[in-house]
Structure 1
Amino acid sequence: MHISANFDAGNIEVISLEDNNNIQLAIRPDVGGEFFQWFNFRITGEIGEQYVLNILNAGDAAFPAGWHNYQAAASYDRDYWFRLPTSYEDGKLTIKVAEMECQTLQIAFFAPYSYERHQDLLASVQTHPLVTLEHLGETLDKRDLTLVKISSDASDDTKNNAQTNKPNIWITARQHPGETMAEWLVEGLLHSLLDSDNATGRALLNKANFYIVPNMNPDGSVRGHLRTNAVGTNLNRAWAEPNLETSPEVYYVIKKMEATGVDLFYDVHGDEEIPYVFLAGSQGTPSYNDRLAHLRDKFAEVLKLASADFQTEEGYPIDAPGTANMTLATHWVAERFDCLANTLEMPFIDNYNLPDTDTGWSPERSIKLGEASLVAMLAVVDELR
């Protein structure tokens, strides 16, 4: 029996393999040691055998409450991801493989979205005549930070373009690299938006320009981090004062936003603890106003109609006026551009409104939510400016 995490986004440390019913493992922390919860590894064993895997440092993870009712994701073909019986007790996460069906099984905190699939996504959309791929800059590990621009206008930066009055919609995903459901959502959104048979996508492209960063944190993604980049920076706490030494990803995105302007911002995330899909808005920013409140309410109500996975009852506490943390992307962008800005959160566990015991929250449901998000954007696009 063998366990390996020496691959893209892999993360696990082997402590002991002596007993198939007590395999002892530990999650490797992000650079800096502050955060860890993401794991992703392959176990190679014998068909028909049972294996019990114990992650001994789970109690010290970034969000230990996220282990409550959590079930690990697993796949034999890296396409269909199902859930394994998982329990948490006394700081130890126990994952049970009742019977191996093939020699190798991949087990992860959530279905991975590999860097190779990220490259495939970029390559697939660039063939569309309205798509331009723009290199925003290099990450600290010298990877490309890529922007997908979708527009029927010839001008690259439209803020001061007299030929168009189209609003600019910005979408970012995976500031926290372990939140892979975010890029699954963007994949669904992109393909739906560019589908010539999708009336919602066609209508939106007639009305707005799109600027989409499918992966804000490619370094952390490849390294198998939960929340940080190559030097341990939590990008979603770096928007007030980004710099090229510790947060170039945010620095380059803001530079481009300043060139284009932002009229709607959609920052896509996953939440380790809350088993629902919900929005976190900018109500606590200093300049929040009735116009933005109306847009937010309309966006949320239409998204509820477009996707039964989305709800508005459960979520984060709403910030009191003027108390928002301005280092967060949604808050900073909302204040800087006086625009509708929302963080979308999806669960790692399952959506308790519509639970699925086989897959829990899944890549497929994330993709469908991306498609539904376009309906909500269409509902508000004419009122953005």
Structure 2
Amino acid sequence: MFITANFDSGNIDVIRADEASDIELQIRRDHQSDFYQWFHFKLYGEVGTEHVMTITNAGESAYPDGWKEYAAVASYDRETWFRVATEYDGKQLTIRHTLEQESLYFAYFTPYSYERHQDLVQWAQQSSLVEHRLLGQTLDGRDMNLLVIGEPDEQKHKIWVTARQHPGESMAEWFVEGLLSRLLDDEDGTARKLLQNNVFYVVPNMNPDGSVRGHLRTNAVGTNLNREWETPTLEKSPEVYYVLNAMQETGVDLYLDIHGDENLPYNFLAGCEGVPCYDERHERLAATFKETLLAITPEFQVEHGYEVDAPGEANLTIASNAVAQRFNCLAFTLEMPFKDNANLPDEDFGWSANRSVQLGADIVSAVYAVANNLRD
């Protein structure tokens, strides 16, 4: 029996692994940070034997309530990720599984590898609709990629989408894969019509360093990027610095920041109601956007979500608030669950990569519903 996390986005420390029935593990903290929750490791063991793995520090993680009614994902082939028996007693998380093959991967959510990220960017670049821009380098020397979709023009609306500021929220990049697949589909009438009068600026992964390092929430030096949007720096948050500078050059008419939420088993939007510039125009656009999404997919709902900020009390270090205020535009944080969509549960897969991809494709229709009125 052997357990390793020595690969892209791997995260686990082995405390004891002498007996298959009593394996003790711990999740590593993000570098220079106290955040932790993401795990990703590979188990080698005996076929037909139940392996009982206990993550002993789960109760001290960043979001301990996130373990309630949670089930880990596993995969034999790194393509199909299914849910496995998982229990949480308030302190420890225990995963049980009987091996059907000699090795099996486990993760907090379906990983989105850096290799797949690079493939996605290069795939998109093949389209005549796409310009691939390099914004700069991260602290670990990785590329900050921007995909410009559509022919830039001053008169066109500028629609920005960023994903995975928090690297452990891998469902965000799966979402972007779905979004890009639809936008670049030559036979999709909605996408074709949108690109006549709008240009999309998409950052598929805001935090490649944290993604490769197996972090939950921070970059290479322990910075939570979604608290850096007021005054980003090259020393702590070059990822935000480069993206915000690019936004300043183009302007922004609609902004979507894509995330995952550890606690809530729903898909939902967090708006920018608390920013000083928020007015009836923002409110009207937001209502149309949500109503459209409700009409086209049962995966979305508006009953559960974050508490709405009081007028003028928004945290302007958070991306959606900062961008809404700086550019006087409609902005949302979109959250997806790590667990399942409680309104439409799937016992085998829970909320999954495939469902994230589909929601990314569906969001194009909601953008279409508001696009013509973004500057009214």
Q: TM-score, normalised by structure 2?
A: 0.99
Moved over 3 A (4+): none
Letter in 1 for 2:68: H
1:131 counterpart letter in structure 2:
V
Q: 1:47 offset after TM fit, Å?
A: 1.3
Structure 2 match to 1:299? 289
User: Which residue identity lines up with residue 271 of structure 2 in the other structure?
Assistant: G
Question: How far apart are residue 62 of structure 1 and its match?
Answer: 0.1
Which amino acid in the other structure matches residue 27 of structure 1? I
Deviation readout 1:256-291 (Å, 9 max, x if unpaired): 000000000000000000000000000011111000
Count of paired positions: 375
Residue in 2 that maps onto 1:70: 70
Q: Report the identity percentage.
A: 56
Counterpart in the other structure of 1:334: 324
| Amino acid in structure 1 at the alignment position of 2:210 | G
Map of 2:3 onto structure 1: 3
Correspondence 1:180-329 to 2 at 5 A: 180-329=170-319
**What is the distance in 1 between the residues matched to 2:347 and 2:4?**
27
Counterpart residue type for residue 125 of structure 1: A
Partner secondary structure for residue 255 of structure 2: strand
Match 2:342 to one of 345, 349, 352: 352
**What's the Cα RMSD here?**
0.7
Local SS of the residue matching 1:345: strand
SS in 1 for 2:18: coil
CA shift, 1:107, in A, is 0.2
Unaligned runs of 5+ in 1: none
TM-score of the two chains, using structure 1 as the length reference: 0.97
* 1:48 to partner: Cα distance: 1.0
Offset, 1:152: 2.5
Q: Out of 63-72 and 304-313, give the one that drifted further.
A: 304-313
Note the C-alpha offset of 1:206. Answer: 1.2
Amino acid corresponding to residue 102 of structure 2 in structure 1:
Q
Encode CA deviations 1:194-217: one digit per residue, 9 max, x unaligned: 001111111111120010000000
For residue 101 of structure 1, report the CA deviation from its aligned partner.
Answer: 1.1
Q: Distance in 2 between matches of 1:193 and 1:216?
A: 20
What corresponds to 2:15 in structure 1? 15
Corresponding position of 2:57 = 57
Structure 2 regions of 5+ residues with no counterpart? none
Inter-partner Cα distance in structure 1 for 2:262 and 2:190: 31
Q: CA deviation at 1:330?
A: 0.2
After superposition, give the CA deviation of every residue in 1:169-221 in whole Å (9 maximum; x if it has no partner).
00000000000000000000001110011111111111200100000000000
Alignment of 1:121-132 (within 5 A): 121-132=120-131
Is 2:140 the partner of 1:141? yes
SS in structure 1 at match of 2:288: helix
Amino acid at match of 2:244: I
- Post-superposition offset of 1:32: 2.0
**1:46-73: CA deviations, max 9, x gaps?**
1111100000000110000000000001
Q: Please tell me the residue identity of whatever aligns with 1:101.
A: E
Q: State the distance in 2 between where 1:277 and 1:32 align.
A: 31
